[in-house]
Amino acid sequence: MLDIQTIRQDPDRFRLAMRNKGYRDTGVLDRAVDLDSERKSIVTTVQSARERSNEVAREVGALFKAGRRDEAERAKEEAARLKDAIRVGEDRLREVEASLEAAMLDIPNVAHESVPVGASSEDNLMAFTNGVIPVFDFRPLPHWDLLERHGLVDFGRGAKVAGAGFPFYVGRGARLQRALIQFFLDMAVSAAGYTEVEPPIMVNADSARGTGQLPDKEDQMYEMTRDGLYAIPTAEVPVTNLHRDEIVAEADLPIRYCAYSPCFRREAGSYGKDVRGLNRLHQFDKVELVQFAHPDRSYEALESLREDAERLLQLLALPYRRLVLCTGDMGFAQSKTYDLEVWSAAQERWLEVSSVSNYEAFQARRMWIRYRPADGGRPEFVHTLNGSALALPRIVAALIENNQREDGSIDIPEALRPYTRFDRIA
């Protein structure tokens, strides 16, 4: 959510920002500005009625005490009239505020000035490439063939038990998952100093709204209607909401958490696209990094978070590239997003394994997460950031495709061996 005060001062700037993000219809901006001024005029009216009403109530009390019953009764009549006026005003105010809120929730975040303006993924900025793309003197197998050959993942039984996109990881496949999770968490905690949390994997509607899943991406979440809960699509949701409705001390910033969680995504509308093997699942594992940063230092935090994620790819010796998403390809709530993509040797394409974003105050304003300035001034909104470090399935896909040998065996990267306790899968 953006600040209506700021929008009112310069609507054109926000109109342009919306268009850059690919929204043709910017009418919601004008609606918000109109509703805001209507809201203010109603508030003014209602408040002065209440002020008078408070006066009258005191008068009535005094008159009764003084035994002047007739005058008191007359004053009560005025009180009744005021009460009606207040009620009418409040009803109207409630409607206007609800409409304003709805409008504000529909306005996307503004992209940072360093973000390239563009219409689609074609216009993303390729910022950095690292590592060497492996060359084979045999035809490398796609990961789904390798997984099957070694019995690492059972897609068929997963489909029977839950549905397509809910695999069983088996034996060394399961062990590899656990090793990666442990490795990622250890790096975040020991090397980078994040505080580890294990979050709820279901959240209520307030939390889903706080990070921007609602109302924008409702179709992508599994919903437990009976209990009003949503299965989390990422640990970002519960972990960012951890400080919802709180005021933290400035000295505590940046606050940094890492969390492992399974993630659940309906992937509605993406059937038939990239669905083979581990490319796209309904349930997958991920370690997420979340930061709450001082507004003046959130872009430093973004770079450090990005580096924390990239370091893992380097340690796993996976060739990867870094993109700066253009305005048209980035999400509704983000100000700036880096995507990290690893090379998949058999599929011969780049797979997104991490998305690192600064949301500035967009989420914080929805969640009322503020900090108290050290000088004791009024509370200000923090900036929130998050990034995957990392999403497992595509890491596993790239890892086994890139590290396969002609005999079908798979080498485990050095850094991971202390966790897997095996060097290769043969």
Partner RNA sequence: GGAGGGAUGCCGGAGUGGUUGAACGGGGCGGUCUCGAAAACCGUUGUACCCUUCGCGGGUACCGAGGGUUCGAAUCCCUCUCCCUCCGCCA
* Cα three-residue angle 187-193-197, rounded to 5 degrees: 80
Q: Which is nearer to RNA, 64 or 332 (CB)?
A: 64
Work out the angle between the directed axes of helices 69-105 and 27-65 (0-180°, nearest 10).
160
d(CA 370, CA 60): 42
Question: Which residue's CB is nearer to RNA, number 85 or number 315?
Answer: 85
Residue 80 binds to RNA (criterion: CB under 7 A) = yes
Which tokens sit at 244?
């919802």
Residue 194 half-sphere exposure toward CB, CA atoms < 13 A: 30
> Contacts with RNA: how many residues (CB under 7 A)?
27
- Does residue 79 belong to the site contacting RNA (CB under 7 A)? yes
Judged by beta carbon, residue 22 or residue 379, the one nearer RNA is: 379
Question: Under 8 Å CB-to-CB from 177, ≥6 apart: which residues?
Answer: 169, 285, 392, 396
Q: Does residue 88 belong to the site contacting RNA (CB under 7 A)?
A: no
Q: What angle do CA 91, 97, 99 make, to 5 degrees?
A: 105
Of 11, 116, 254, 379, the residue at the interface with RNA (CB under 7 A) is: 379
Residues recognised as catalytic? 265, 280, 352, 355, 394
d(CA 260, CA 188): 11
**81 lies in the site for RNA, by CB under 7 A:** no
Q: What is the closest distance, in whole angstroms, from the C-beta atom of residue 76 to RNA in the complex?
A: 4
Q: How far is the CB of 364 from RNA (least distance, A)?
A: 12
**Which residue in the set 83, 175, 266, 417 belongs to the binding site for RNA (CB under 7 A)?**
83
Longest dimension (CA), the chain: 106
Q: CB of residue 108 vs RNA: minimum separation in angstroms?
A: 21
CB of 73 to RNA, least distance (A): 9
- Binding status of residue 198 toward RNA by CB under 7 A: no
Q: Are strands 255-264 and 195-197 parallel, antiparallel or unpaired?
A: parallel
Q: Closest CB to RNA among 47 and 130?
A: 47
Question: How many CA atoms lie within 13 Å of 153's alpha carbon, on the beta-carbon side?
Answer: 22
Pick from 147, 143, 169, 167: which is nearest to 155 by CA?
167
Q: Is 149 in the site for RNA (CB under 7 A)?
A: no
In terms of DSSP bridges, do strands 153-154 and 168-169 run parallel, antiparallel, or are they unpaired? antiparallel
Select the residue interacting with RNA from 67, 269, 272, 376 (CB under 7 A): 376
Stretch 17-76 residues interacting with RNA (CB under 7 A)? 40, 43-44, 46-48, 50-51, 53-54, 56-58, 60-61, 64, 76
Cβ partners under 8 Å of residue 340, min gap 6:
306, 309, 310, 313, 320, 321, 322, 323, 352, 353, 354, 355, 356, 390
Provide, rounded to whole angstroms, the least separation between the CB of residue 80 and RNA: 6
Say which DSSP state 294 is in. Answer: -
The least CB distance from residue 191 to RNA, in Å, is 33
Question: Applying CB under 7 A, which residues contact RNA?
Answer: 40, 43-44, 46-48, 50-51, 53-54, 56-58, 60-61, 64, 76, 79-80, 83, 94, 247, 370, 372, 376, 378-379
